[in-house]
Amino acid sequence: MKVYLLSLGAGLLVGIIYSLLNVRSPAPPLVALIGLLGILAGEQIVPMARQIISGHSLAAAWRDAKCTPHIFGMLPGRRAAETSSTSEPHQMEKHS
């Protein structure tokens, strides 16, 4: 229940910011995508700050906080390389 209340609070905060910027929801696609990028990047600030405070360099903090996979997701080509390296291939179910 706590995560739902936190999610609602975050949504309210974003709604207030949108209102102050005169952007109506649903936002235009480019504005929404930039906002999502900001959310993804913002989620990495605390883990990176912890790493930097503990004495890691910025590059090491970025790597240790796993920022690249979180922000950019599975990039094209990586899925095929990971699938071929596993011993059991993934099989898709056929729906009739």
> So what's the pLDDT on residue 92?
47
Maximum Cα–Cα distance across the chain:
56
Q: From residue 11, how far is each of 28, 70, 85 by CA, in Å?
A: 17, 21, 40
- 46-94 pLDDT, tens digit per residue, is 888 888 899 989 888 888 888 777 777 765 665 555 555 554 444 444 4
In sequence order, the 6+-apart residues with CB closer than 8 A to the CB of 24 are 18
What is the model's pTM?
0.50
Q: What pLDDT is recorded for position 96?
A: 46
Q: Where does the pLDDT of residue 27 fall: very low under 50, low under 70, confident under 90, or very high at 90 and above?
A: low
Cβ atoms within 10 Å of 11's Cβ, excluding its own: 11
Check residue 84 and give its pLDDT. 52
Query: Hunting for tokens 């080509």 — which residue is that?
Result: 77
CA atoms within 13 A on the CB side of 58: 0
